[in-house]
Chain A
């Protein structure tokens, strides 16, 4: 009896969480005459394929829209933001964990709190900064601005990660005659490596998801990122190509969902540090 209730509750939560994705899936592969039947027609069941599935919408998405172009733009921005974030946040996180002592802890909190300053507060001043730098309507604007979100969070992640790595190895290296600087250059990178992977993954997912800055700075369709182009440019002229739209949403969500599942515990550690003492 208790088992039944447990499974029923789990199914209920799965249905609520997963329903829009089922809807993306079924919409992406339905023929138009099966798709566009008004919901007032109660004899036509919208939950299933009434006609055989079709690849028409997927074909349209890849051949006649900017989708692949947007994927390319997104990956370009991801690569640049990953490099900037790694170069800036990894040394900072290491420094806060190992070199700065007590005031480093306060400073780390301070840096993390800037992660809470929302894009919707900063997009107006940024639109001025971006115009001053001549970066309007260019991916350069996104590459400049996205690290403001990734650096605070990743510095915090690396700091937390390094705190969990025992100090012995670095200490031994110093006893063996390495200077502190040599330890940082030769020993620390190997220790930090798993933390770096988390930084790369977090930056990737964040850039894939960002919408506010992209909407503010990018106006030409061929310079859009996926999260901007799909909801904004695929619906031009008041005609919604729902099949292609849902296909694009589905193909973008699935890889992200897989990554989230692999790295969820690391992210959660970052969010709950302090509140959960394990």
Chain B
């Protein structure tokens, strides 16, 4: 067989790959570097000047109580919502793996929160948490559980709770589906062996299934953390960072300072604090996933 250019796989492979690589390098790689460079400058939205100011932006924001609050809030919201997500998703997966009548309709409803655009979900929740018309308050009052009044989005503690609820609500269906995929991939013999050995439901769940599910749960949490920590829409629409900047998270503060306030340098410095957050989480979870996979291999 004659070998021409049309048969050389590495040349063809590189040619087909080139546009994607170029796009990703130019429009993700370069802006990523630019984000870090901007955080060391006094760049403003109006001009194209680029003054190197070293760690100035970082020392300004680290001394700023609003920034420190937003950093803490990002951690609180992310951890709080993801703990809820893990609990809800493993429980929901146990329910939805069973066969029951009306399961298709149930699955449709379960997936709604994930399909709806974040901003539209957030506006619906804003209405649900309304200070005058909140249906939650009405229901709690009628049930006799509430005697005063809950200003959901007007009081810092409640507002953060509301944000955590919305983030968990929006991500748990996604996590549930991923855990379900994981459950489906557990070898049937393993589960049967556990049953033969006399393991009941809870023992089977905690000793057999959850350890095997760990890599999948790790993947769900990895995406959940990324989606929550870097999300702007929920906080921006629900509270706008208020009352009095007490619910700001890193993305909303970066938007306020960098885009609305036109201080690109400071905005970039705030956003850069998302990076170590994401890198650490990604490495940790990938390690967990890998270790569990190796362990599973030995047992087999």
Contacts and interface: CB of A to CB of B under 8 A. Distances in A.
Interface of A: 3, 6-7, 9-10, 13-14, 16-21, 23-24, 27, 35-40, 42, 46-47, 87-89, 91-92, 94-96, 98-100, 104, 107, 111, 113-114, 116-129, 131-132, 144-145, 147-148, 151-152, 155, 179-182, 184, 205, 208-212, 215-216, 226-228, 230-231, 240, 242, 245-246, 248-249, 252-253, 256-257, 259-261, 264, 268-269, 271-272, 274-278
A174 to B, nearest CB: 9
A261 B107 contact: yes
A276 B185 contact: yes
Contacts of B173: 17
B241 interface: no
Contacts of A227: 117-120
Most B CB within 10 A of own CB, among A122, A124, A242, A261 = A124
Most A CB within 10 A of own CB, among B96, B123, B230, B251: B123
Q: Tell me whether chain A's interface is mostly helix, strand or loop, or mixed.
A: helix
Contacts of B111: 17, 257, 260-261, 264
B100 to A, nearest CB: 6
B35 A122 contact: yes
A246 B223 CA distance: 28
28 contacts: A17-B110, A17-B112, A17-B113, A27-B127, A40-B138, A42-B138, A91-B16, A91-B17, A91-B19, A107-B17, A111-B20, A118-B274, A121-B271, A123-B254, A152-B28, A209-B117, A211-B119, A231-B119, A242-B127, A246-B127, A249-B123, A252-B120, A253-B117, A253-B120, A257-B112, A261-B111, A264-B111, A275-B218
B193 interface: no
B17 A100 contact: yes
Contact of A148 (B27, B133, B178): B27
B108 interface: yes
A273 to B, nearest CB: 9
A123 B274 CA distance: 13
B116 A253 contact: yes
A89 B123 contact: no
Interface stretch (B2-10, B59-67, B75-83, B155-163): B2-10
A39 B135 contact: yes
* Chain B CB within 10 A, most for which of A24, A118, A129: A118
Contacts of B58: none
Interface in B2-40: 4-10, 12-14, 16-17, 19-21, 23-24, 27-29, 31-32, 34-35, 38
Contact of B109 (A14, A87, A231, A278): A14
A152 B178 contact: no
Contact of B215 (A107, A179, A275): A275
Nearest to B269: A124
Given A24-B124, A88-B20, A246-B124, A120 B255 contact: yes
B50 to A, nearest CB: 10
A131 B88 CA distance: 44
Contacts of B35: 121-122, 124-125
Nearest to B234: A211
Contact of A96 (B17, B108, B117, B259): B17
B282 to A, nearest CB: 7
Contacts of A230: 119-120, 123
Interface of B: 4-10, 12-14, 16-17, 19-21, 23-24, 27-29, 31-32, 34-35, 38, 43, 45, 48, 88, 91-92, 95-96, 98, 100, 103, 106-125, 127-128, 132-135, 137-139, 141-142, 149, 169, 172-173, 177-178, 181-182, 184-185, 215-216, 218-219, 223, 226, 230-233, 236-237, 250-251, 254-255, 258-259, 264, 267-268, 271-272, 274-275, 278, 282, 289
A104 B13 contact: yes
A24 B121 CA distance: 10
Contacts of A212: 232-233, 251
Nearest to A155: B20
Contacts of B278: 116, 118
A129 B174 CA distance: 33
Nearest to B46: A131
Contact of A120 (B9, B123, B132, B274): B274
A57 to B, nearest CB: 13
A125 B32 CA distance: 8
Contacts of B43: 128
B232 to A, nearest CB: 5
B251 A120 contact: yes
B36 to A, nearest CB: 9
B137 A116 contact: no
A10 B102 CA distance: 10
Contacts of B24: 111, 114, 148, 151-152
A212 B115 CA distance: 17
